[in-house]
Amino acid sequence: TKQKLWGGRFTGKTDPLMHAFNQSLKYDQRMHAADIRGSIAYAKALRRVGLLTEEEEVKMTQGLETVGREWATGQFQPAADDEDIHTANERRLSELIGSLGGKLHTGRSRNDQVATDMRLWLLSEVDDIESSLKGLVRIMVERADKERDILLPGYTHLQRGQPIRWSHFLLSHAFSFRNDLERLQQLIPRISVLPLGSGALAGNPFSIDREFLAKELGFASLAENSMWGVGDRDFIVEFLMWSSLTMTHMSRLAEDLIIYSTAEFGFVTLSDAYSTGSSMMPQKKNPDSLELLRGKSGRIFGDMAGFMMTLKGLPSTYNKDLQEDKEPLFDTVDNISASLKIAEGVIATMEVHGEKMQQALTMDVLATDLADYLVRKGVPFRETHHVSGRAVALAEARKCQLNGLSVQDYKGLHEKFGDDVVEVFDFEASVERRSSIGGPSRKTLDRQIAVLRAALGQK
C-alpha cells in the first residue's frame, strides 16, 4: 500500500474529510513551475556538496524536467494522496527515476520549499503586474497629451469648483498610479529573499551553498535567519497591502467615470466593449466594467485583512495556518491583474464629450478668478472673496450669470472694478493663469507628462 511522504510514524489512516481539508494541491498547483525550478537548483546544490553524483544529478534534473513538462502540457496525473504541489512533484519524480528521487529532499523541508516557491512565483507575477500598471499609466498620459484643449469644471464635494483641463483630471489619477508603480518596485527586493536552505526551521546541516542557490534562482538576497526564513509571510502581506491601496485608487477613478458617464453629466461614454445591458430595460447601457473595478477593491482589501488576521498570534516559524496564504494571494493577483488590463481598455476606448464639459462650465466657477482680479488691484483676498460672493448672490437674484452683470454693477460692488473685469470671464485664460508647477496650464501639463513618462522609462 502507498505511504504518505511523512507516513513512517503513523499507523492510523487520515480521515477522508481531513485529507480534503488539508489538501492544497487544487490551488497550489499553479506554482508547479516554481517548484520544479527550485528543486532543480537544489539538486545542483546537493551535487556540489557531494550528496549526489554528477550522474545522479543529471538523472534527477531530467526527471524534474519531465514532471515540469507534464504540468505544462496538462498531462500531469495527480494522485489521490498528493497533499500539495511539493508532495505531488516528489511522488511523480520517484515514479520516474525510482529511489534516487528520495534523495532530493535531503536537508530540505516543505517549509523552506514552499516559502521559496511562493516568492519565486510572486516575483514573476509582479513583473507582469508592473507591465500592466505601466500600460494603464501610459494610456492616461497619451490621452492627456492629445486632449488638452478640453476644459471642464473641477469638482470638490462634487460641486463645481474651478475650471481645469480634462488632461489635468486624467493625470491626477495617473499620479496616484505613478506612486503605486514606485511602491511596487520598492517591494521587489523584499520579495526577492531566498528561504531555501533554511530547512524545517534550524538551517541546513550539509553545508549547502545558499549563495549559489540564490544566484541560480535569481534571488537578490538570502534569508539570514532560518526561523525567519520559513515563518515570514510579510512579502505577501506587503503585496496585499499594495494591491489594496492600488485598488483604492482604481475605485476612485472608476467612481469619477461612473458619475461622468451618467446622462446627467454626459462627459464620457464607455465603449460597448466595456459596458453591458439590462435584461429588462432595453435602453440601458451600464458601466459594469467600472463598477467591477470599484467592487473588486473591497474584495482585495478583504484578502489582505483576512490574511493579516491569520498571521496575528501565530507562534514562530512554520504553522499550517500559513497554507492559508495562498488563496488570498492568488485571488488578489488574479483580480488586480485583470483590473489593470480592464482599466486600460476602458480608458483607451471611452469617448470624451468636450462640448458637454464646456456646457457644465458655468460662470460661477470663475468666482475665485473674480476675487483674484481685485487682489491684483491691491485689495486683500479676504475682502475680495466677500465682494465676489456678493456678485454671485446678485447674479443669482437676477437669474443671470456673473458675466450678465454690467460693469456698472461691478463698480457698485467695489470701486477697484474697472472695464477690464469682462476679461475675467474666460475659462481658457483662467486655466492658463494657473501656471505654477502642479497647475492645469499647458506649460505645467507638459511638465506633468514629462514626469510621468520618465517614471515609465520613456523619453
Q: Which residues bind ligand ARG (CB under 6 A)?
A: 24, 28, 84, 86, 110-111, 114, 318, 320, 322-323
DSSP for 293-306 reads HHHHHHHHHHHHHH
The phi-psi region of residue 84 (left if phi > 0; otherwise alpha if psi is between -120 and 50; otherwise beta) is beta
Return the DSSP state at 276: B
- Give the nearer residue to ligand ARG in terms of CB position, either 199 or 440: 199
The three-class DSSP label of residue 268 is: strand
> Whole-angstrom Cα distance, residue 16 to residue 293?
39
> Whole-angstrom Cα distance, residue 217 to residue 326?
21
Residue 65's φ and ψ, nearest 5 degrees, are -65, -35
Q: How many residues does the chain have?
A: 459
Q: Are 76 and 66 in contact (CB under 8 A)?
A: no
- Give the nearer residue to ligand ARG in terms of CB position, either 322 or 350: 322
Q: Compute CA 271 distance to the chain's CA centroid, rounded to the nearest angstrom.
A: 23
Who's near 217: CB < 8 A, 6+ residues apart? 37, 38, 41, 116, 120, 194, 196
**Shortest distance, position 113 Cβ to ligand ARG, whole Å:** 7
> Whole-angstrom Cα distance, residue 299 to residue 242?
14
By C-alpha distance, which of 380, 410, 417, 419 is closest to 392? 410
Cα diameter, the chain:
103
**Shortest distance, position 121 Cβ to ligand ARG, whole Å:** 12
- Give the nearer residue to ligand ARG in terms of CB position, either 119 or 138: 119
Q: How many helices and strands, by DSSP H and E, does the chain display?
A: 18, 6
- Give the nearer residue to ligand ARG in terms of CB position, either 123 or 431: 123
**Shortest distance, position 324 Cβ to ligand ARG, whole Å:** 8
**Shortest distance, position 152 Cβ to ligand ARG, whole Å:** 51
**Shortest distance, position 310 Cβ to ligand ARG, whole Å:** 12
Return the CA Rg of the chain: 31
- Give the nearer residue to ligand ARG in terms of CB position, either 320 or 399: 320
Beta strand extents in 92-251 (DSSP E only) = 151-156, 159-165, 193-194, 221-222
Identity of residue 67 = V
Q: Which residues are catalytic?
A: 157, 278
Q: In 10 A of CB 4, how many CB atoms?
A: 15
User: At 432, which helix (H) or strand (E)?
Assistant: helix 427-433
